[in-house]
Amino acid sequence: MYARTARGMIRSMNSNEHRNAIDRVCRLIDSSDAAPDLTALAREAGLSPWHFQRVFKAALGISPKRYAMARRQQRLSQQLRAASSVTDAIFDAGYATSSAAYRDSKLLGMAPARLRTGGVNERIRYTTADTSLGPILVAATERGICMVEFGGQRTLLAELHRRFAKADIERADDELAEWVRQVVAHIDDPAGTDAGLPLDIRGTAFQVRVWNALTRLLPGETVSYSELARRIKSPDSTRAVARACATNQIAVLVPCHRVIGSDGNLRGYKWGLARKRKLLTRESSISDKD
């Protein structure tokens, strides 16, 4: 994903020389077993380390180190599903030590051993509830809420099993009762609640950046897709930001409904424009009172 994203962003840079330099660097990182250091990458780009760092981040929205980490995580994810052991996968992915892989695994959403087996034995609890915007399914891991979706129970339960195909999924109405009460309250009355619930946000490094930025928006605050791209310091990634919003799995708590078109009009919403309009209307009443 990052290789494709990188090439797309590079094409939008003003300087052909810089575009070609960053393209070479990305290929070098992608093909290296171990991440090259900043000096070596800057040398490949023909720039000073300081200038290279600025050019690279302007093009991709992340530092060379973060790009290399994301690519290594991607390789680890692929290796874990095919390797004969977790240790083999860790070293084949380019990690020098297993501890480094387990540290990075926090961004993968689960430990390498679980990722290798598709999340087997991971415990996912879920329950359903009614809200003023329709029924929802709420699911959670030990780390926090990993799914809030509007829709019919049968359809959403099938989706939950698809996402966590090898996890232990169980209904836990009583166990999740307080969290669900807060989720419903936040949907029905955002003025009177502060969700503040623990979230288990899973996705690519880029998606997580977008979703985390969304959680910092206040009720009644809206941004355009291009403004959100600028806020995550990736101004050329408007389309990728829109895709990340469209694949958000935690409705309302990760408030992608607060992203609108640059002309102020509502754009697509995974759970329907009618819901998006109602959510924004409720939240706009809050900002009007403020």
Angle at 144 between CA 155 and CA 191, to 5 degrees: 85
Whether residue 200 contacts residue 141, with contact meaning beta carbons closer than 8 Å, is answered with yes
Q: How far apart are CA 9 and CA 239, in angstroms?
A: 11
In contact, 57 and 66? CB cutoff 8 Å:
no
218: its two tokens? 């206040």
Please tell me the distance from the alpha carbon of residue 67 to that of residue 60, in angstroms, as a whole number.
Answer: 8
Q: Residue 213 is which amino acid?
A: A
146 is catalytic: no
Q: Where are any strands of DSSP class E within 89-167?
A: 123-131, 134-140, 145-150
Cβ contact 49:38 at 8 Å: yes
Closest of 254, 128, 151 to residue 202, by C-alpha:
254
Q: Concatenated DSSP letters for 36-98? A: PPHHHHHHHHTS-HHHHHHHHHHHHSS-HHHHHHHHHHHHHHHHHTTSSSHHHHHHHTT-SSH
Distance CA(209)–CA(233), nearest Å, equals 10
Q: Choose the catalytic residue: 26, 146, 245, 256.
A: 256
CA distance 204 to 121: 22
Catalytic machinery residues: 256
